[in-house]
């Protein structure tokens, strides 16, 4: 099955073409084409992602990303299918009326390449920034109609879960995991613990009551004068502080560590950093030490809650996913803890290129949901949903 996947939930415009051989979850996957455009440079000067700016960038880059992914795959369009009927033109204009610039670029693309023989189009419909999500959703609907291909809406968080178990060594199939499983999803917008009793069955058992972990990283980075996105910037400084053994800057709190439930809270930690730095001129050593102390507090909480969740639900597998799972310290601490304290368990982290947002994970989730694909003309029920939940 040839799957074209589209991801525009935040500040990455990504399109992939993946071939799935077999049924989910035993299929083998070939990544035929993969294109990703990061808007980080555009948002950096504002210190965060602005939804309308993200939308504009997605509109400008989605067709070039489609072209790149398809060209890389070597797949060719149908030569004798480059003319669009008046009826289809009108329908496409209706679908894309909120992104009118896309109409011309899509028509030009079709004139150049014709239709593609794809079996399924998978698109992120949430959660994320709604104006950004709509670009992907409407573009995917337009393509589905133009090429007459079924379309399936995908939950971005399911994509993060599946990208974490995409076999790290073989890179071509999902790992054979033991259920029940706990997923710790940590990204710019989410911090949640999910119980999975089987593939596709999700039950939220814990979540943040305020800021998401990635959000806390980004906000603390800002307080330290570091640029957006804050995660990698803080991680870099924290590593230096560990390597060079800089003295502790502050005893930051580990919120809700012993609350007995599986919820999180990071705004108190963020505020503690704010108090610790206010009216101080920070040296580079101070910044690095704060980054490390903050990161240590975050890691302690995430690790303890994950272990509690596993014990409570008899799970022997932990899946860590979302942008913050790119954090090397977090990964080392989890791997060490699981090796010593929980030797019969397995912890999965995504490959580095699959930690942050990408469209390979959307193709995997699309494949998992292929049975609920919609016909192109029934796709108007697909809505971008910024708060779409996994369970």
Given the rule CB under 5 A, which of 29-37, 78-86, 181-189, 338-346 is the region that contacts Zn ion?
181-189
Q: At what angle do helices 100-113 and 86-95 cross, to 10 degrees?
A: 140
Number of chain residues interacting with Zn ion (CB under 5 A): 2
Sign (positive/negative) of CA torsion 338, 342, 343, 345? negative
Instruction: Give whichever of 206 and 323 is closer to ligand KG4, judged by the CB atom.
Output: 323
Buried/exposed code over 236-247 (b: 16+ C-beta within 10 A; e: otherwise): ebbbbbbeeebe
Q: What separation in angstroms does the CA of 115 have from each of 65, 149, 153, 155, 296?
A: 16, 10, 21, 27, 52
Tokens of 110: 């079709």
Which single residue is written with the structure tokens 């939308």? Answer: 55
Binding of ligand KG4 by 322 (CB under 6 A): yes
Binding of ligand KG4 by 10 (CB under 6 A): yes
Binding of Zn ion by 187 (CB under 5 A): yes
C-beta of 188: minimal distance to Zn ion in Å?
A: 7
User: Which is it for strands 120-126 and 151-155: parallel, antiparallel or unpaired?
Assistant: parallel
- Listing from the earlier edge strand, what are the strands of the sheet with 201-207? 201-207, 191-198, 181-186, 317-321, 346-348
Given the rule CB under 5 A, which of 100-108, 228-236, 277-285, 350-358 is the region that contacts Zn ion?
350-358
Binding of ligand KG4 by 146 (CB under 6 A): no
Which single residue is written with the structure tokens 């525009």? Answer: 8
Binding of ligand KG4 by 293 (CB under 6 A): no
Residues with Cβ within 8 Å of 306's Cβ and at least 6 positions away in sequence, in order, are: 182, 184, 193, 318, 320, 334
Binding of ligand KG4 by 189 (CB under 6 A): yes
Binding of ligand KG4 by 231 (CB under 6 A): yes
**Which of 232, 253, 268, 386 lies at the binding interface for ligand KG4 (CB under 6 A)?**
232
Binding of ligand KG4 by 188 (CB under 6 A): yes
Given the rule CB under 6 A, which of 74-82, 140-148, 186-194, 259-267 is the region that contacts ligand KG4?
186-194
**Which of 99, 211, 293, 357 lies at the binding interface for Zn ion (CB under 5 A)?**
357
Binding site for ligand KG4 (CB under 6 A): 10, 187-189, 214, 217-218, 229-232, 235, 322-324, 326-327, 356-357
């Amino acid at each position: 099955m040839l799957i074209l996947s589209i991801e525009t939930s935040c500040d990455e415009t990504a399109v992939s073409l993946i071939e799935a051989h077999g049924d989910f979850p035993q299929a083998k996957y070939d990544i035929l084409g993969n294109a990703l455009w990061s808007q980080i440079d555009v948002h950096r000067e504002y210190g965060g992602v602005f939804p309308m700016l993200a939308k504009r960038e997605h509109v400008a880059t989605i067709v070039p990303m489609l072209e790149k992914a398809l060209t890389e795959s070597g797949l060719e369009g149908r030569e004798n299918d480059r003319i669009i009927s008046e009826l289809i033109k009108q329908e496409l204009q209706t679908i894309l009326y909120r992104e009118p610039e896309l109409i011309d670029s899509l028509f030009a693309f079709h004139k150049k390449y014709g239709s593609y023989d794809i079996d399924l189009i998978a698109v992120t419909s949430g959660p994320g920034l709604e104006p950004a999500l709509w670009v992907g959703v409407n573009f995917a609907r337009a393509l589905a109609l133009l090429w007459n291909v079924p379309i399936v809406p995908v939950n971005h968080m399911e994509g993060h879960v599946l990208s974490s178990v995409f076999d790290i060594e073989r890179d071509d199939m999902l790992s054979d995991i033991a259920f029940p499983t706990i997923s710790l999803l940590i990204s710019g917008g989410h911090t949640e613990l999910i119980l999975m009793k089987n593939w596709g069955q999700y039950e939220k058992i814990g979540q943040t009551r305020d800021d998401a972990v990635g959000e806390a990283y980004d906000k603390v980075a800002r307080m330290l004068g570091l640029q957006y996105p804050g995660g990698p910037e803080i991680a870099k400084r924290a590593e230096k502080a560990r390597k060079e053994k800089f003295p502790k800057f502050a005893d930051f709190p580990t919120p809700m560590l012993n609350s007995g439930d599986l919820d999180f809270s990071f705004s108190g930690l963020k505020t503690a950093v704010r108090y610790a730095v206010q009216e101080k001129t920070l040296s580079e050593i101070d910044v690095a030490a704060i980054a490390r102390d903050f990161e240590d507090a975050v890691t302690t909480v995430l690790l303890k809650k994950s272990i509690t969740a596993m014990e409570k639900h008899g799970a022997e597998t932990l899946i860590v996913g979302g942008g913050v799972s790119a954090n090397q310290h977090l990964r080392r601490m989890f791997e060490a803890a699981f090796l010593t304290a929980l030797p019969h368990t397995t912890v999965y982290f995504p490959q580095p290129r699959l930690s942050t947002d990408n469209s390979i994970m959307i193709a995997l989730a699309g494949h998992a949901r292929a049975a609920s694909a919609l016909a192109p003309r029934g796709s108007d029920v697909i809505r971008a949903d910024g708060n779409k939940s996994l369970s």
